[in-house]
Every structure is written in structure tokens, then in C-alpha cells.
């Protein structure tokens, strides 16, 4: 605690004790401050003696100056709090924008295909293939499908015909089979999808 701070505090106490009739609470607070350190009593006594030596006008001017200083310190304290609050708000906004941008980037990253394969079977040809995750697809004749693997799902678009799927279980990447009229999502099972002449049929095997 610096001497300047003690002097300023003593001056404020002098003003408060002289500007109005102090109540019991104010007197108790003042006495506690005086008793807290010998320098407090010494500085307060010095200010009181100095004020007694001044003329009435000088006293009024000294009190006015002290009040101005106290008001200035109060304004500076409020300004500091406002600046601190504004800085905290700016940090909050920046963090929010960064989080939003990060989520958007993550969604874009998830939407990027890892692999994409198209299979078209003519009339009279049936094919079977094992996919990258170990799942198996049997595509009937006169059928057309597109296989797209993403980080968060395995997607099959059956454009025409019929296919039988044996799906390897993967909770992190559900297996999605879609036609222009329906969509089925599984984690791991064996099922068939039939899309012929605008009709569609899905059946677990």
C-alpha cells in the first residue's frame, strides 16, 4: 500500500466525515480504517491539521478539488469496467464465430466423398462385388447403381433394377440405400431393394 494511496484515502475519509453528519455505520468503518495501520491515523491527523490552518475559501477549494479527484477516480473505475466488459464480449463473439466456422468446415469435410463407383449391368448380366468396408452387393441384370462412401455414411443410389446387400456393421457409418422414391438406412443386415418400372420394394432377407 503506497503513501499516495493512504493520503488519498485519508482525504476521502475527511470529506465524508465533514460533508454530512456521519451515522453509526460510517463511524465504525472510519474507526476501523484508522485503527488498521498507524499511517492511517497519522495521515488523517495531518490532513485535518492542514485544513484547520486554511481559510474558509481555501477549505472549500480543497474540498472541491478532493471531490473532483474522487469523481475522476470513480469515472476511471467505471470506464475500466466497461472496457473489460467490452473486451470479454468481443472474445465471446470471436470464439462464437470461430466455432461456427469450424462446424461449417467440419460439415464440408464430412460431405466430401472418399470414393465413388458406378455399376451398370446390361440385360442378362448379374454381378457381385465386395465394397471397401467388406459389405457385399449383388446387382441383378438390367440394373444400375452408384456407390459413394463418405466419412459419416455409406451411400448407394439404386437408379434401376434390383440389388441384394450384405452389410458389415458400422455404427459410425450407417449404410444408406436410396431410390428416387424411397430410402432405407441400416447399420448392418442383409436385405434386398427392387426398383422396376417406377415401383419399389425393400425386403430383409
Instruction: State pLDDT tens for residues 129-184.
Output: 999 889 999 999 999 999 999 988 899 999 988 888 889 998 888 999 988 888 88
Within 13 Å of residue 51, how many CA atoms lie on the same side as its CB? 18
Say whether both 162 and 189 belong to one domain. Answer: yes
Say whether both 199 and 137 belong to one domain. Answer: yes
Of the three residues 54, 76, 107, the one that is the final residue of a domain is: 107
Say whether both 130 and 94 belong to one domain. Answer: no
Of the three residues 59, 79, 107, the one that is the final residue of a domain is: 107
Of the three residues 78, 107, 136, the one that is the final residue of a domain is: 107
Query: Where are the extended beta strands (E) located within the chain?
Result: 115-121, 127-130, 136-139, 143-149, 154-166, 175-178, 183-186, 190-196, 199-204
Say whether both 98 and 145 belong to one domain. Answer: no
- DSSP character string of 45-77: HHHHHHHHHS-HHHHHHHHHHHHHHHHHHHHHH
Q: What is the pLDDT of residue 179?
A: 87
Among candidate residues 199, 196, 173, 175, the one with its CA nearest the CA of residue 185: 175
Q: Name the domain count of the chain.
A: 2
For residue range 53-82, list pLDDT tens digits in order.
655 455 555 555 655 665 655 665 666 666
Strand-pair category, 199-204 with 127-130:
unpaired
Say whether both 89 and 140 belong to one domain. Answer: no
Q: Say if residues 154 and 133 touch (Cβ distance below 8 Å).
A: yes
Question: Which phi and psi (to 5°) does residue 162 adopt?
Answer: -140, 145
Say whether both 101 and 120 belong to one domain. Answer: no
Among candidate residues 63, 68, 73, 83, the one with its CA nearest the CA of residue 20: 63
For residue range 100-134, list pLDDT tens digits in order.
556 567 677 777 888 888 999 998 899 999 998 89
CA dist list (Å): 157 to 20, 62, 160, 176: 86, 88, 9, 8
Structural domain for 90, as ranges: 3-107
Looking at the DSSP bridge assignments, the partners of residue 201 are 194
Q: Identify the band that residue 205 occupies on the pLDDT scale cut at 50, 70 and 90.
A: very low
What global pTM score does this model have? 0.45
Task: Check pLDDT > 50 for residue 191.
Answer: yes
Looking at the DSSP bridge assignments, the partners of residue 177 are 156, 184
Q: What is the pLDDT of residue 200?
A: 47
Amino acid at each position: 500500500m503506497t503513501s499516495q494511496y493512504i493520503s488519498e484515502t485519508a482525504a476521502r475519509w475527511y470529506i465524508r466525515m465533514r460533508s454530512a453528519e456521519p451515522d453509526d455505520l460510517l463511524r465504525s468503518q472510519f474507526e476501523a480504517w484508522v485503527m488498521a495501520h498507524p499511517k492511517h491515523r497519522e495521515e488523517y491527523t495531518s490532513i485535518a491539521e492542514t485544513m484547520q490552518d486554511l481559510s474558509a475559501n481555501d477549505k472549500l477549494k480543497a474540498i472541491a478539488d478532493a471531490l473532483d479527484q474522487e469523481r475522476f477516480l470513480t469515472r476511471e473505475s467505471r470506464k475500466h469496467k466497461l472496457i473489460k466488459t467490452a473486451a470479454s464480449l468481443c472474445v465471446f463473439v470471436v470464439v462464437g464465430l470461430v466455432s461456427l466456422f469450424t462446424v461449417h468446415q467440419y460439415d464440408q469435410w464430412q460431405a466430401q466423398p472418399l470414393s465413388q463407383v458406378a455399376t451398370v449391368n446390361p440385360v442378362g448380366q448379374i454381378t457381385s462385388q465386395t465394397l471397401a468396408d467388406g459389405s457385399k452387393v449383388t446387382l441383378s441384370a438390367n440394373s444400375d447403381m452408384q456407390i459413394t462412401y463418405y466419412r459419416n455414411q455409406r451411400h448407394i443410389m439404386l437408379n434401376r433394377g434390383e440389388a441384394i446387400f450384405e452389410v458389415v456393421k458400422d455404427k459410425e457409418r450407417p449404410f444408406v440405400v436410396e431410390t428416387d422414391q424411397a430410402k432405407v438406412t441400416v447399420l448392418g443386415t442383409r436385405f434386398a431393394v427392387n426398383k422396376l418400372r417406377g415401383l419399389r420394394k425393400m425386403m430383409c432377407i
